[in-house]
Structure 1
Amino acid sequence: MKVNLSFILLLILVNTSAYSSIVMTDDKLSIIVTPPADYNRKDTVHIVGNFNNWALSGNKSHQLRYVEGKLVADIPNNQQDIIFGFVRNSDWKSIPSRESGNALCLFLHQKNSTNHHIKIEIPAWKDDKPGKVATQTIVGNVKVLKDFAMPQLGRQTNISIYLPPSYKENNQQKYPVLYMLDGQNIFDDSTAYSDEWLVDESMERLASTGKLNEFIVVGIANGPRRWNEYNPWNYKSWDTQVEEIGEGDKTITFIRDSLKPFIDKNYRTKAENTSTGLAGSSLGGLMALYGAMEHSDVFGFIAAFSPSLAVENMAGNNVLFAALKNQKEMGRVKIYADMGKVEYGNYEKVEFLQQLLLESGVAEKNLKIVKDDLGRHCELDWSKRFPSAVGWLFKE
């Protein structure tokens, strides 16, 4: 069964000290895990990663064994950068987290490391009741609109609006706007699924140094049907293998017809498409690219962080690549996209994306593809690439 990396958002500190009862050879890595204090020995824990195609069963699976209060496993050291995580009781929703419930990013073992023992501590599991309350981490001028109506999707959502430092100082100035999907993750640890993006911290820092033209950021929190609402095309479900209906067009229509008019009416914005952007990660990155393809009259610039490039339809065709091959005119849109090498094991998919975008009419000067050799599929790494991404997008 194929596993989409959108479901695997884990981070933990990797400490390369040895566990004395494990004897290793050069072709093996020893994983020693300190489980949560309330660990139940009846639970199963598997280590999954690019070294075993994320397998939870079969001859490639690796279940950790209990040894003197630790969970241990030996995995192949195949001289590649290894990205890996843990799954409890074969449930992809049961992954490592902080005690606050924030999921942790994937672990990374670099191929040039001389350490063959990796010691890890798992504070808690994502599907357990949090033992602590996550701290609110908003900085700067961020307003939160609770229960904003989404008539196109028949539900409500929270909208977070970051206003730059000069917004209060100059009441005549108008600003570009960047709309960001998965908005609950971008400003605040207390609402984030995993680590927050530190967008507000980055914006404040960049504004203080004068290295960035200021702009407004609007975060749109996702909902319980994220896979449907963040897929522009019908797709094959990764777990049930049945066709699901993509409702991404409704999400974009909400931004275009409901949210953007509200923001333009109530805040000092530059409303034209050359001053309006759409950004997202994973499935949100897929949606941002869809915005460039079908709504370049609304969104003049796009940021797709680790866009999901493995979503397929029932015929087994990549939904994005199939749509791009039929794309006749992209419009004058500026696109930033990035990818971590360890996400897919190589850069073939993002390089093919680059080729298709150029063939669809995107000007080479308006396309920036960033390859991060150690980039993982999580907010922690996207936050590191955010400042340079917006620096390029908002460069006049």
Structure 2
Amino acid sequence: MTSGKKRFLAFILIIFFFSLFYDPSFLAGHAAQKVKILFKVKIPAKLPKNGVVYLSGNLFELGKWQPDFLPLEKKGPKEYEILWELPKGKTIEFKFTLGNWKMVEKGPHGEEISNRKAYTDKSKTIYCQVASWNNLHLLKQSLPTWTGNIIPLPPFYSQEFKNYRKVWVYLPPSYYKNPRKRFEVAYFHDGNNIFNGKTSFSGIEWGVDETVEALI
């Protein structure tokens, strides 16, 4: 047998023995694991209409301290929450804001507070209480200019752009009255310009929400 054939036979034997002991679950078990964290927060007072509470933190999945990254769902007059998937085994640091760092959470007497911290060892619920907000008087100036029932959804990860993209959804007044009804959907690009002059590149929104409200 030539040396070339011997090397080829040895290669085949290596593949054969590897296939005997290969366990696909091994690689799956060592892939990046995720846990689901339910953040529940109670704020000191009811916010004005269109007010949104955001969560921002140190991880890429928490916006890398982008103050308006993760909008929370309103569950009551002063209760907000969001269920979010994070890498397992990480120490997270985070704070709550009203959309920018001028209106970040503060202590009971308006003092600075340290970042909140938690460890993502398993799926769990994290309960928080905001004592006060910084510069709450600025909130009315920074409120979105949208009209009607606009819902800021949690951002989704784009495989194309390798980042998180924001989504805003307009819901008609009858949406919650007819939970089984199917509604037509219109999709718009450049979403920052559609409803809100505060996020529009020109400072002037396209007025889609006002137009739809007028047509209903």
Higher strand share: 2
TM-score category, normalised to shorter length: 0.3 to 0.5
TM-score of the superposed pair, with normalisation by structure 1: 0.23
Larger Rg, first or second structure (1 or 2): 2
TM-score of the superposed pair, with normalisation by structure 2: 0.41
Higher normalized contact order (CA 8 Å, seq sep 6+, divided by chain length): 2
